[in-house]
A and B are shown apart, each in its own frame.
Chain A
Amino acid sequence: MDAADLERVDEIIDRYRGQEGFLIQLLLDLQSELNWIPREVISHLSDKLRVPTSQIYRIASFYKVINLNPVGRHVIQVCMGTACQVRGAHKVLDFTASRLKIKPEETTSDLSFSLKKVNCLGCCSMGPVMTVDDHYHGSVTLEGAEKILKNLR
């Protein structure tokens, strides 16, 4: 993190000046800017907002969407909702994990891919569902998953 990054962080903090209960929204905004929440940002927030670091960590670690570790350039989510589950989502997850050689919730060492399980994306009619960055793929078979991964490499 350099001075320019922290300046961007400050700009985002300023959006919430004078409001109440904005910490989660602020973390979400920071994350969409930085992709994850580095440790420096949390201590910076703590100084700036006069909120203990522990309190910020408690919130940041409670919510699944907040990344406290760097994420890969491509984020792959496999939906594990019930409708996807009964149509074989766990197979898609296992297969994707074995292809990427990481476990769910991990990132490849070259920071190319992060694999996440997600509880329900609300696309239940077309399960199993997998998303890559902002793209949704429905009725994913193992063959389909393979194709999706191939296109990313």
Chain B
Amino acid sequence: MPRLTSVRDLQDMRRVLAEGGDPTGPGTPTIAVCAGTGCLALGARKVINAFKEELKRRGLSGDVPLKETGCPGFCEKGPIVVIYPEGVHYVKVSAEDVPKIIEETVIKKRLIDRLLYVDPVSGARGVHQEDIPFYKHQTRFLIDNNIKINPKGIADYIALGGYQALARALSSMTPQDVIEEVKRSRLRGRGGGGFPTGLKWEAARGAPGSPKYVIVNCDEGDPGAFMDRALMEGNPHSVLEGLLIGAYAIGAQEGFIYVRAEYPLAVENARASIIQAREHGLLGEGILGSGFNFDVNLHRGAGAFVSGESTALMNALEGKVGEPKPKYVHTSEVGLWNRPSLLNNVETWANIPLIINRGAEWFSSIGTERSKGTKIFSLVGKVNNTGLVEVPMGMTLREIIFDIGGGIPGGKQVKGVQTGGPSGGIIPEEHLGTPVDFDELTSLGSMMGSGSIIVLDEDTCAVDLARYFVDFLCDESCGKCVPCREGLRQMREILNEIVAGRGKEEDLKALREIAGLMKAASLCALGRTAANPVLSTLRHFEEEYLAHIRDQRCPALVCERLVSYFIRPERCIACGRCRENCPQGAISEGELTEEGRDPFMVIDQSRCSRCGICFHVCPSKVGAVVRVSERSSDPSFGTCDQEGFGR
């Protein structure tokens, strides 16, 4: 293991790796299989094993390296395999495809059409990443290397120019220069707050007291966001390099990487990166021959959403309950163990090497007036191409959803998007032309948050979604301050009444009042923003609330108490799956009143709990179960073909 004792050592190592001296170098013929959590869930482990076996069987193990890489973001089409040096991009690969891939693509250099991405609109096949609309419309600086890197080793990262920014900072920049560069880049924190990163760094550097600490926040709690997971799993050294530069800039010698418990692979890869960096002398004493000493500890979270808040996270690092503290003084001055502490989100840290390498001018040339650089969004929910997308700040939601995301599945209408996680809000369809940056989203009553974009179609009920978030936050509120703890509970009560059809019009006023109070009086950002999902739905979807309250009707056919289920006898094939799965035992075979009539099922409405399991287990090609939401609806079988039936 070469220990790098100078910048020159690092350059030498990089040169050797880039010349292909190392079989894991990205320039050589290589089979790259995404081994991120997403692709693993879709069977990537089997694909990897099949490649291993097949290569061994053909005696190619030494000649064609197999690389388990990080996540390139196109999880929808996983498992993803890329064959280098041509960069042939295969989607939805299974273990059975492996012998053919080796025979045809690796050896004979021929394409297998069936495994290429097919554009659902044009029918065109995409051979390389750049041919595929999902990637083509992105600007990928942060996640582009994920598919080229084996995140369990350091070699690929160094071969691709890793740790050059650190070398540059240590050899030719003073800590003050580094801070100036970050300030001039106008990078804003990617964790949700959007605070100017350079100012935070400057405050931490200027704060009296020592030792100082630097911290990576990988407690990505926002449901629907997973860019931090992908970076930590797929390119952990880019985060570590950013952290090292930050430590050098503020004068810290110790750092922490806090990874949430739900991300076991991120924990594993972060740990591996720390060990390798130590072995290579990139952590420890006199890094790259400079006088800079620094080391990192890994801290696993234990499952608490609120611990992603900076003061709460520092409490957790101290081994205490991860509850927030009042921020009368910034954590950059009094943070971990009451020392100046610089905490940034994973994606923020990963931006730092880019800024140092390419310069603040380059970085600030990307994006909008007040939001610079690119941002990784997780595009999920009711959209065709789900996954991680990295785009310049300022791209419109419509471009993201339709050009990159390929639109809504099943020909449905987009209702809106939810951004910013539980602290964010819902933006309706008519605002999809909004350019996405920190300030634009806030002005619509939502926020950037950590960058989740959850696409909602007509089957999503705005009231139910608001209730879901309030419920989520009720669970996750630490309970320390009254406005958040009690405000959420009261809101939950009210919303539960509304979705059950027992709401009153004055409830909407009460919701607004509670929301205002929580915003003004809660201790931490979780409480101050907790009402946003309610406020934004009230703002943009008030008529939907009123439909629940005035008409006891759920237009999206979601709210259980307001929906009834019926079985259309003419469609029912009496397979019995609904009866088998009904938890209430409310389904039985219907009486055959006419001769020659095929058997069918009926739902006993008095016993039905409206759980909807029958609707979901009814085979989709049969589609006999229908749901209706009408005031005092009592449709006889004859009216089943009228509008208002969801199927």
Question: Taking beta carbons and an 8 Å cutoff, which residues of A are in contact with B?
Answer: 20-25, 27-28, 58-59, 62-66, 80-88, 91, 94-95, 98, 118-127, 129, 134-138, 141-143
Q: Given the complex, which residues of B lie within 8 Å of A87, measured CB to CB?
A: 381-382
Cβ A63 vs Cβ B583 within 8 A: no
Cβ B317 vs Cβ A21 within 8 A: yes
Rounded to whole angstroms, the CA-CA distance of A80 and B223 in the bound complex is: 8
Q: Given the complex, which residues of A lie within 8 Å of B41, measured CB to CB?
A: 123, 126, 129, 135-138
Q: Given the complex, which residues of B lie within 8 Å of A63, measured CB to CB?
A: 301-304, 322
- Determine if B84 is an interface residue (Cβ-Cβ < 8 Å): no
- How many chain B residues touch A (CB < 8 A): the figure is 62
Taking A98-B613, A122-B229 as given, write out 9 further A-B residue pairs in contact, using a Cβ cutoff of 8 Å, ordered by the A residue number: A85-B468, A94-B613, A119-B262, A119-B472, A120-B221, A121-B37, A124-B226, A142-B581, A142-B613
Rounded to whole angstroms, the CA-CA distance of A146 and B231 in the bound complex is: 33
Known: A64-B303, A142-B616. A83 touches B38 (CB 8 A): no
Q: Given the complex, which residues of B lie within 8 Å of A64, measured CB to CB?
A: 302-304
Q: Given the complex, which residues of B lie within 8 Å of A137, measured CB to CB?
A: 41
Q: Which 9 A-B pairs have the closest CB atoms?
A: A81-B223, A136-B41, A64-B303, A63-B302, A21-B319, A125-B75, A122-B226, A125-B386, A120-B223
Q: Which of B179-187, B390-398, B452-460, B490-498 contacts its partner?
A: B452-460
Cβ A126 vs Cβ B303 within 8 A: no
Q: Given the complex, which residues of A lie within 8 Å of B264, measured CB to CB?
A: 134
B591 to A: closest C-beta gap in Å: 27
- Determine if B68 is an interface residue (Cβ-Cβ < 8 Å): no
A122 to B: closest C-beta gap in Å: 4
Which partner residue on chain B sits nearest A101 by CB separation?
B583
Rounded to whole angstroms, the CA-CA distance of A143 and B578 in the bound complex is: 12
- Determine if B76 is an interface residue (Cβ-Cβ < 8 Å): yes
Rounded to whole angstroms, the CA-CA distance of A122 and B380 in the bound complex is: 11
Q: Given the complex, which residues of A lie within 8 Å of B378, measured CB to CB?
A: 83, 124-125
Cβ B76 vs Cβ A82 within 8 A: no
Contact of B386 among A23, A25, A124 (CB under 8 A): A124
Cβ A122 vs Cβ B37 within 8 A: yes
- Determine if B285 is an interface residue (Cβ-Cβ < 8 Å): no
- Determine if B612 is an interface residue (Cβ-Cβ < 8 Å): yes
Q: Given the complex, which residues of B lie within 8 Å of A25, measured CB to CB?
A: 299-300, 319
Rounded to whole angstroms, the CA-CA distance of A82 and B322 in the bound complex is: 23
- Pick the most buried of A59, A66, A120: most chain B CB atoms within 10 A of its CB: A120
Cβ A91 vs Cβ B613 within 8 A: yes
Cβ B613 vs Cβ A119 within 8 A: no
Which partner residue on chain B sits nearest A124 by CB separation?
B380
Cβ B616 vs Cβ A59 within 8 A: no
- Determine if B321 is an interface residue (Cβ-Cβ < 8 Å): yes
B304 to A: closest C-beta gap in Å: 5
Cβ A120 vs Cβ B261 within 8 A: no
Cβ B38 vs Cβ A125 within 8 A: yes
Cβ A28 vs Cβ B386 within 8 A: no
Known: A62-B321, A64-B303. A126 touches B611 (CB 8 A): no
Which residues 428-465 of B sit at the A interface, judged by CB distance below 8 A?
Answer: 452, 454, 456, 460, 465
Total CB contacts across the A-B interface at under 8 A: 163
- Determine if B263 is an interface residue (Cβ-Cβ < 8 Å): yes
Rounded to whole angstroms, the CA-CA distance of A39 and B226 in the bound complex is: 35
Q: Given the complex, which residues of B lie within 8 Å of A120, measured CB to CB?
A: 220-226, 262
B457 to A: closest C-beta gap in Å: 8
Cβ B319 vs Cβ A127 within 8 A: no
Cβ B381 vs Cβ A28 within 8 A: no
Contact of B303 among A65, A84, A85 (CB under 8 A): A65
Rounded to whole angstroms, the CA-CA distance of A142 and B615 in the bound complex is: 11
- Determine if B305 is an interface residue (Cβ-Cβ < 8 Å): yes
B469 to A: closest C-beta gap in Å: 8
A33 to B: closest C-beta gap in Å: 15
Cβ B38 vs Cβ A86 within 8 A: no
B426 to A: closest C-beta gap in Å: 11
Which partner residue on chain A sits nearest B421 by CB separation?
A82
B337 to A: closest C-beta gap in Å: 8
Q: Given the complex, which residues of B lie within 8 Å of A83, measured CB to CB?
A: 223-224, 378, 380-381, 386, 452, 454
Cβ A24 vs Cβ B316 within 8 A: yes
B265 to A: closest C-beta gap in Å: 9
Which partner residue on chain B sits nearest A91 by CB separation?
B616
Rounded to whole angstroms, the CA-CA distance of A22 and B468 in the bound complex is: 34
- Pick the most buried of A24, A66, A135: most chain B CB atoms within 10 A of its CB: A24
Cβ B223 vs Cβ A59 within 8 A: no
Cβ B40 vs Cβ A136 within 8 A: yes
B116 to A: closest C-beta gap in Å: 20
Q: Given the complex, which residues of A lie within 8 Å of B469, measured CB to CB?
A: 82
B300-318 CB contact bits vs A (8 Å, 1 = yes)? 1111110000000000111
19 A–B contact pairs at CB < 8 A? A20-B337, A63-B301, A80-B223, A83-B224, A83-B378, A86-B465, A94-B583, A94-B611, A119-B262, A120-B223, A122-B225, A123-B38, A124-B225, A124-B226, A126-B38, A126-B41, A136-B37, A136-B41, A138-B38
Cβ B616 vs Cβ A122 within 8 A: no
B563 to A: closest C-beta gap in Å: 13
Which partner residue on chain A sits nearest B300 by CB separation?
A28
- Determine if B189 is an interface residue (Cβ-Cβ < 8 Å): no
Q: Given the complex, which residues of A lie within 8 Å of B465, measured CB to CB?
A: 85-86
- Pick the most buried of A21, A64, A85, A86: most chain B CB atoms within 10 A of its CB: A86
- Determine if B42 is an interface residue (Cβ-Cβ < 8 Å): yes
- Pick the most buried of B220, B452, B613, B616: most chain A CB atoms within 10 A of its CB: B616
Rounded to whole angstroms, the CA-CA distance of A142 and B262 in the bound complex is: 24
Cβ B321 vs Cβ A59 within 8 A: yes
Which partner residue on chain A sits nearest B302 by CB separation?
A63
Cβ A127 vs Cβ B321 within 8 A: no
Rounded to whole angstroms, the CA-CA distance of A58 and B293 in the bound complex is: 36
Rounded to whole angstroms, the CA-CA distance of A58 and B421 in the bound complex is: 28
B46 to A: closest C-beta gap in Å: 12
Cβ A126 vs Cβ B305 within 8 A: no
Q: Given the complex, which residues of A lie within 8 Å of B40, measured CB to CB?
A: 136
